[in-house]
Chain A
Amino acid sequence: MLYLGLFLASVLLVLWMVYWSTAGFVTGQADEEIKSEVRTLLERWQLGGVGALAAAVAERSARGDADGIYLLTLPTATPLTGNLSSWPPEASSDGWVTFDVRERGVDGDGSGKADARAIAATLPGGFRLLVGRDMRDVDAYADRLEAVIGWSLALTLALGVLGGMFMSRAMLRRLEDVNRTARAIGAGELAQRVPVGSGGDEFDRLATTINTMLDRIQDLLSGMRHVSQGIAHDLRTPLTRLRARLELALMEEQGPADPRAVLEEAVEEVDRLLATFRALLSIAEVESGAGQEPAIPVRLDELARRVAELYEPAAEIQGVALSVEAAGPVTVMGNEQLLAQALANLTDNAVKYTPAGGRVAIAVSAESGRALAIVADSGPGIPTEERERVVKRFARLERDQALPGSGLGLSLVEAVAHRHGGRLRLEDNAPGLRAVLDLPVA
């Protein structure tokens, strides 16, 4: 409604300007011509007296100039010369006057508007001069213009109202689409999406954006559901084990043989569980992109060297040769702690799973805008068909069940890779595993 009102107001303004510059102009022009004529005639009178004036008036009247009105009268108001039969009563005093013209064989149009406009002047000696114009044509022009403007306004109003109605109905329909989808989703049908038209207009863009958001929400929700299920399933086992151990100790008639040992073991088991919980939480945090700490430049090559240094003694004890090499400085934008943990997880896995006499090599390099941190080992590797599964939470290979570990390491690495705009690739090192952390260079 407001829009319609504004629209009408601007149309009115435009039309008024048109009227004023055309009809108004024409009327103004006529007045100027009258004034100019009066000046000329008065000059004649100044130069040659009444006689010259009368001659000039007669000449103009005889011209048959369609619009000109001239009259010169004696002081007694008796017409001397001109094309008007008598002095109009409306012109009692000097100055501008408007009056009807009924002579000249044409009826006044009876429209209520004066037909003629003139200047009346009284000359010294009592002579009176009337110079003017028949305005009927100008009036007709103005009337026509008014009519046109009136119709234009009416048409604009009609079109505006109709157009407005159509547009708002179309908009309402699109908005109702979004509403309907939102209601359905609110009621639980998470797979609903907003219908997208083919036009590519703002509503289509809105629909596409909303749909993308809904996709993400659905992903997160199903991720969460999966995690809860995983947690419930995989934490139940150690908790059950812990309970069993404690219950067993309770069942012994004389109490457990070594109560301290039982308690210490229980605490260790609980610590393991706590560590798993914390790892889960940190994966969830990384995945949800929680907290937008600004990314800082991180030297991947230096990080690799520090991680290698951390794992070097562990590798040595296991009889595994650990090496690190970097072609030069390699910088990525991100979170140093997360990247450190990702590299540490990969190295930890490599050292853990490689048998004595094997090798683990960490290599950092950059090529065509990608920073690569590669941890390659000579261990048993991961079979191709399992590579997708092991990255999921709690997933472990059958053969590794006996080794320590929560099965969360690779999940975290992948989450960190995504958070940094990159990916984790698991490849065959023939033999062994080649874990590649592929990130965009800073």
Chain B
Amino acid sequence: MKILVIEDDIQAAAYMAKGLREAGHVVDHARDGTEGLFLAGSEHYDVLVVDRMLPGRDGLSLLGVLRATGNDTPALVLSALGSVEDRVKGLRAGGDDYLTKPYAFSELLARLENLGRRRAPGQQAPTRLAVGGLELDLLARTASRDGRPIELQPREFQLLEFLMRNAGSVVTRTMLLEQVWNYHFDPQTNVIDVHIARLRQKVDKGFDPPMIHTVRGAGYMLRG
């Protein structure tokens, strides 16, 4: 993906850019709001990373201008402000996702890839998902692998659907909690892990190869 990072902290930006490049993405960097607005408006990017506190023009106002001019490039807002209100403000201003500092890089990467995927052009709502031997019928709400049907409870189905839509990318526990359960807080213990473990019992046990992988220090990934 082609990513634009708008961040005034040189070192933070450098780390971010390095990590993103190593993950295979192309990264541009803008040091302040004005430069960011100019670049975002004049070139095509798949995803933007916008720091909220910027010299020149702050992140939210930058997004406001972009959206007003019809630019709907997915944007992830980075901020040290983490209250619910700040999050809501960030999303209302035009952000598509919100991450508070300090953050884990793996979280940032996972969310960016998720964002980039959301707006892939020319995508209509699919009625079935397929990864490897795994198939999901989104209308009938049924699942099967290698032709054998799999019994899933509604929540398990949602979980699997999310993993499959993000196949090949890491999804973090926080992302799962947010997008499958609609909770915006840090779970205390490994409550998500147990749901995944159960899902694995149904999807991977007795099949080959295992599709649900644990990515240490980041989260999970589904891969055929």
- Which residues of A come within 8 Å of B, CB atoms? 264, 267-268, 270-271, 274-275, 277-279, 281-282, 285, 290-291, 293, 306, 309-311, 313-314, 316-317, 335, 337-338, 340-341, 344-345, 348, 352, 404-406, 409
Q: Is B102 an interface residue (CB 8 A)?
A: yes
In the complex, which residue of chain A has the Cβ closest to the Cβ of B82?
Answer: A281
A279 CA / B155 CA spacing, docked (Å): 27
What are 16 contact pairs spanning A and B, CB under 8 A? A264-B217, A274-B104, A278-B100, A279-B186, A291-B85, A293-B84, A311-B191, A313-B197, A314-B189, A314-B190, A314-B191, A317-B197, A337-B184, A338-B84, A344-B185, A348-B187
Could you say which of A264, A293, A316, A341 contacts B216, with CB atoms under 8 Å apart? A264
CB-CB contacts of B159-193 with A at 8 A, as 1s and 0s?
Answer: 00000000000000000000001011111111100
Contact B185 A291 (CB under 8 A): no
Q: Is B195 an interface residue (CB 8 A)?
A: yes
In addition to A282-B185, A285-B82, A293-B88, 17 A-B residue pairs with Cβ atoms within 8 Å of each other are: A270-B104, A274-B104, A278-B100, A285-B83, A291-B85, A291-B86, A310-B195, A313-B198, A337-B183, A337-B184, A340-B183, A344-B188, A348-B189, A348-B191, A405-B189, A406-B188, A409-B188
Q: Is B194 an interface residue (CB 8 A)?
A: yes
Query: Within the complex, what minimum Cβ distance (angstroms) separates B203 from chain A?
Result: 14
A290 CA / B83 CA spacing, docked (Å): 8
Query: Within the complex, what minimum Cβ distance (angstroms) separates B157 from chain A?
Result: 13
A407 CA / B153 CA spacing, docked (Å): 33
CB-CB contacts of B131-152 with A at 8 A, as 1s and 0s?
Answer: 0000000000000000000000
Residues of B within 8 A of A293 (CB): 84-85, 88
Contact A404 B189 (CB under 8 A): yes
Interface size (B, Cβ < 8 Å)? 27
A160 CA / B178 CA spacing, docked (Å): 71
Contact A340-B155, Cβ < 8 Å, known A267-B217, A293-B84, A313-B195: no
Could you say which of B83, B104, B195 contacts A291, with CB atoms under 8 Å apart? B83
CB-CB contacts of B185-224 with A at 8 A, as 1s and 0s?
Answer: 1111111001101100000000000000000110000000
Contact B155 A314 (CB under 8 A): no
Query: Within the complex, what minimum Cβ distance (angstroms) separates B65 from chain A?
Result: 25
A279 CA / B82 CA spacing, docked (Å): 11
- Which residues of B come within 8 Å of A, CB atoms? 82-86, 88, 100, 102-104, 155, 181, 183-191, 194-195, 197-198, 216-217
Residues of A within 8 A of B181 (CB): 306, 310
Contact A335-B185, Cβ < 8 Å, known A309-B155, A317-B194: no
Contact A405 B188 (CB under 8 A): yes
A311 CA / B183 CA spacing, docked (Å): 13
* Chain B interface, DSSP helix/strand/loop, else mixed: loop
Residues of A within 8 A of B190 (CB): 314
Contact A341-B185, Cβ < 8 Å, known A271-B104, A311-B191, A348-B191: yes
Contact A277-B217, Cβ < 8 Å, known A291-B84, A348-B189, A404-B189: no
Query: Within the complex, what minimum Cβ distance (angstroms) separates A203 from chain B?
Result: 37
Could you say which of B82, B86, B155, B183 contacts A278, with CB atoms under 8 Å apart? B82
Query: Within the complex, what minimum Cβ distance (angstroms) separates B52 from chain A?
Result: 15
Residues of B within 8 A of A279 (CB): 186
In the complex, which residue of chain B has the Cβ closest to the Cβ of A281?
Answer: B82
Contact B189 A352 (CB under 8 A): yes
Residues of B within 8 A of A405 (CB): 188-189
In the complex, which residue of chain A has the Cβ closest to the Cβ of B191?
Answer: A314
Residues of B within 8 A of A309 (CB): 155
Question: Closest 3 interchain pairs by CB?
Answer: A291-B85, A313-B194, A267-B217
Contact A348-B186, Cβ < 8 Å, known A274-B102, A274-B104, A310-B181: no
Question: Which interface residue of B85, B88, B190, B217 has the most chain A CB atoms within 10 A?
Answer: B217
In the complex, which residue of chain B has the Cβ closest to the Cβ of A307?
Answer: B183
In the complex, which residue of chain B has the Cβ closest to the Cβ of A315?
Answer: B194
A317 CA / B200 CA spacing, docked (Å): 14
Query: Within the complex, what minimum Cβ distance (angstroms) separates A292 from chain B?
Result: 8
A348 CA / B82 CA spacing, docked (Å): 23
Residues of A within 8 A of B217 (CB): 264, 267-268, 271
Residues of A within 8 A of B197 (CB): 313, 317
Contact A348 B83 (CB under 8 A): no
Contact B185 A337 (CB under 8 A): yes
A317 CA / B187 CA spacing, docked (Å): 17
A352 CA / B189 CA spacing, docked (Å): 9
Contact A277 B85 (CB under 8 A): no
A314 CA / B195 CA spacing, docked (Å): 8
Could you say which of B155, B186, B198 contacts A275, with CB atoms under 8 Å apart? B186
Residues of B within 8 A of A281 (CB): 82
In the complex, which residue of chain B has the Cβ closest to the Cβ of A406?
Answer: B188
A281 CA / B186 CA spacing, docked (Å): 12
Query: Within the complex, what minimum Cβ distance (angstroms) separates A235 from chain B?
Result: 13
Residues of B within 8 A of A344 (CB): 183, 185, 187-188, 191
A74 CA / B128 CA spacing, docked (Å): 135
Residues of B within 8 A of A278 (CB): 82, 100, 186
